[in-house]
């Protein structure tokens, strides 16, 4: 796996990451969603550099100009519900992208720390020969992405896979690296060192879905 950790460099991205971590700013759900969306735009711009391009002649009012434009067909697949703002950020930059949505959740037995990841809804176009972009804002244990990868197999073989995440744990990144193809690209804005007993990233941000859309039952 090829890992692109944009948090290793100083940029405006750090401002958006600091705001989604800040417990005071987190109280503004609209601002939280917008910051995730902006992070998605930055990550999308960076991964666009890895796509295939071809030359197209563009007619302007005063002449013609040859431009290099994206050749690949991109499919953005996001994990509900936390992935929606990140999905929108990418869609802001990839106007012609196709879209897929996956419902996945952790099933804890009672108050036990152990859990399994359940995928119970999957809607995606054919992935055959296309560039698949998987968005999951919090890459914690990596088990959700493993299950999603298995479920995607019936939709065809993509030309290339990119994973876009906001924050990941080192443990989760190492796990995903072990199960995805070696030429997969991971684009991530920050990497945190630990997981707690229930599989949440420390220091992380908390529950991204709840912060974006309110607490669930």
| pLDDT on residue 153 | 85
Three-class secondary structure of residue 7 per DSSP:
helix
Average pLDDT in the chain: 91
Helix (H), strand (E) at residue 217: none
Residue-number span of the structural domain to which 142 is assigned: 2-52+71-213
Structure confidence at residue 124 (pLDDT): 86
Q: Which residues pair with 61 in a beta bridge?
A: none
Residue 66 lies in a domain: no
Report if residue 199 sits inside a domain. yes
The Cα-based distances of 114 to 8, 53, 137, 174, 177 in angstroms read 32, 45, 21, 19, 22
How far is the C-alpha of 1 from the C-alpha of 168, rounded, in Å?
A: 15
Residue 19 tokens read as: 């705001």
Q: Is residue 125 part of a domain?
A: yes
Which residues does 154 contact at the CB level (< 8 Å), separation at least 6?
A: none
Residue 60 inside a domain? The answer is: no
Q: Residue 64 falls within a domain, yes or no? A: no
Query: Phi and psi for 91 in degrees, rounded to 5?
Result: -65, -25
The band of 118, judged by pLDDT with boundaries at 50, 70 and 90, is low
Residue 76's pLDDT is what? 97
Query: Residues 134-150: pLDDT tens digits?
Result: 999 999 999 889 888 88
Cβ-contact 36, 78 below 8 angstroms = no
- Domain annotation covers residue 65: no
Compute the average pLDDT of residues 79-105.
90
Q: What is the CATH number of the domain that holds 27?
A: 3.40.50.2020
pTM of the predicted protein model: 0.89
Whether pLDDT at 114 is above 80? no
Count how many residues are written for the chain: 217
In order of 4, 18, 79, 131, 135, the CA distances from 72 in angstroms are 20, 33, 22, 7, 18
Quote the number of domains for the chain: 1
* Percent with pLDDT over 70 in the chain: 92
- How many other β-carbons are positioned within 10 Å of the β-carbon of residue 129? 12
Would you say residue 190 lies in a domain? yes
Helix (H/G/I), strand (E/B), else coil: 43: helix
Write the CB contacts of 130 (distance below 8 Å, at least 6 apart in sequence): 72, 73, 74, 75, 98, 156, 158, 159
The answer to whether the bond into 81 is cis (omega within 30° of 0) is yes
pLDDT in tens, 40-58: 999 999 999 999 999 999 9
In a domain, 88, yes or no: yes
Which position has the higher pLDDT, 120 or 152?
Answer: 152
State the Cα angle at 123 between 120 and 129, rounded to 5°: 125
In the predicted model, is pLDDT for residue 123 greater than 90?
A: no
């Amino acid at each position: 796996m090829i890992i692109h950790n944009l948090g290793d460099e100083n940029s405006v991205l750090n401002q958006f990451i600091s705001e989604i971590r800040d417990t005071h700013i987190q109280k503004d759900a609209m601002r939280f969603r917008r910051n995730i969306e902006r992070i998605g735009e930055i990550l999308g711009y960076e991964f666009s550099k890895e796509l295939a391009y071809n030359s197209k002649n563009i007619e302007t009012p005063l002449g013609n100009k040859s431009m290099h434009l994206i050749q690949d067909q991109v499919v953005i697949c996001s994990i509900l519900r936390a992935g929606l703002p990140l999905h929108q950020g990418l869609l802001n930059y990839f106007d012609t992208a196709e879209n897929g949505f996956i419902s996945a959740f952790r099933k804890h037995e009672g108050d036990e720390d152990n859990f399994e990841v359940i995928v119970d809804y999957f809607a995606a176009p054919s992935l055959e020969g296309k560039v698949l972009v998987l968005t999951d804002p919090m890459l914690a244990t990596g088990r959700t992405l493993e299950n999603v990868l298995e479920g995607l197999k019936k939709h065809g073989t993509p030309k290339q896979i990119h994973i876009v995440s906001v924050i990941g744990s080192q443990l989760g990144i190492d796990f995903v690296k072990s199960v995805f193809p070696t030429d997969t690209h991971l684009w991530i804005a920050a990497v945190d060192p630990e997981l707690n007993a229930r599989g949440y990233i420390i220091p992380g941000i908390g529950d991204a879905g709840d912060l974006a859309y309110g607490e669930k039952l």
